[in-house]
């Protein structure tokens, strides 16, 4: 996979290109001198170390969206709960939203701390088979602000991937911040040799969200990250009493369905708005234990089944390729 430097311009030729630091698109890039000198071509030794660490992880799934507030962390948490409901599966959830770590609250782990052992950082466990890691566990208070520049955030992501003692895992779910910059480039770069299954992209029905999601899809294609599919979150409101559906965010341009049609991507499903989702997140509980028969829980389970099917096929393809 071609590597792209932090703060790369839109048409960055990549550090491995002969034009690195020399093309017109490199003008003004803070990494121009490093790229032109050839220093950036040297692979980060952490990539090989992380690849070795990830050998014990069967499936690696990124949760992405170009837009903030579409429910990435909520989806990541419910995906982790659903996968870990099978007691034979070992699941972990990694929060790489360095400046806005909400996973500790959503998973009911606020106030927990990470412990160091001889084999690295020990994650925090929700259940015996569900582990969580977040920078939120390293802060003295949930109200503390993480005021870091890119290199420090990238260093923390590297530590999470290389130094956390995950053990043998069936699924590692990585919850990312909005956008297509530092954290996303770092996570893709560090996992470039670790055989990532792919990304689940979260959107809401309105065009302002879809616009940013298209950028995220372009990012995935540019860095050769497979896309598992798209999930439309907040897709209508199902009244708990009368069961009628209302469109709170009308899909004026066709929503995720039209987006997937246009870009030839799988639509994994649509999750309706449900106050019980927000309540379960605020209380750090699983939606599947709080409202197992709700339309939202059923939609999640259908999406999770599609993701599991994709991962099974991914393993088969990897084995055939080798």
* Residue 122 contacts residue 82 (beta carbons within 8 Å): no
* pLDDT at residue 7, rounded to an integer: 45
**Domains delineated in the chain:** 1-42 (no CATH), 43-321 (3.40.50.300)
Torsion, Cα of 49, 50, 55, 57 (10° steps): 160
Supply the pLDDT for residue 149: 86
Q: Which residues of the chain have pLDDT under 70?
A: 1-11, 13-16, 28, 30-31, 34, 38-42, 316, 318-322
Which pLDDT score is estimated for 269?
A: 97
């Amino acid at each position: 996979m071609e590597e792209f430097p932090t703060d790369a311009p839109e048409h960055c030729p990549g550090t491995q290109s002969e034009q690195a630091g020399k093309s017109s698109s490199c003008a003004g890039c803070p990494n121009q001198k490093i790229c032109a000198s050839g220093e950036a071509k040297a692979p980060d030794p952490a990539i090989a170390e992380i690849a070795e660490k990830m050998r014990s992880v069967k499936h690696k799934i990124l949760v992405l969206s170009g837009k903030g507030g579409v429910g990435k962390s909520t989806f990541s948490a419910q995906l982790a709960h659903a996968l870990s409901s099978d007691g034979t599966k070992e699941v972990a959830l990694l929060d790489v939203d360095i400046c806005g770590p909400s996973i500790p609250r959503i998973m009911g782990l606020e106030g927990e701390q990470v412990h160091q052992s001889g084999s690295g950082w020990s994650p925090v466990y929700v259940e015996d088979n569900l582990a969580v890691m977040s920078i939120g566990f390293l802060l003295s208070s949930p109200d503390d602000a993480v005021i870091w520049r890119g290199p420090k955030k990238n260093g923390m992501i590297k530590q999470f991937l290389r130094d956390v003692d995950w053990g043998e895992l069936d699924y590692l779910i990585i919850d990312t911040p909005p956008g297509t910059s530092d954290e996303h480039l770092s996570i893709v770069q560090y996992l470039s040799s670790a055989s990532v299954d792919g990304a689940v992209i979260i959107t809401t029905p309105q065009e302002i969200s879809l616009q940013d999601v298209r950028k995220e899809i372009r990012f995935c294609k540019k860095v050769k990250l497979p896309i598992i599919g798209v999930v439309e979150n907040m897709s209508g409101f199902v009244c708990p009493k009368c069961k009628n559906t209302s469109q709170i965010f009308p899909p004026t341009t066709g929503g995720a369905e039209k987006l997937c049609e246009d870009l030839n991507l799988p639509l994994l499903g649509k999750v309706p708005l449900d106050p019980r989702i927000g309540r379960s997140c605020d209380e750090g509980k699983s939606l599947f234990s709080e409202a197992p028969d709700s339309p939202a829980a059923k939609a999640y389970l259908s999406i999770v089944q599609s993701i599991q099917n994709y991962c099974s096929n991914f393993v088969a393809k990897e084995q055939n390729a080798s």
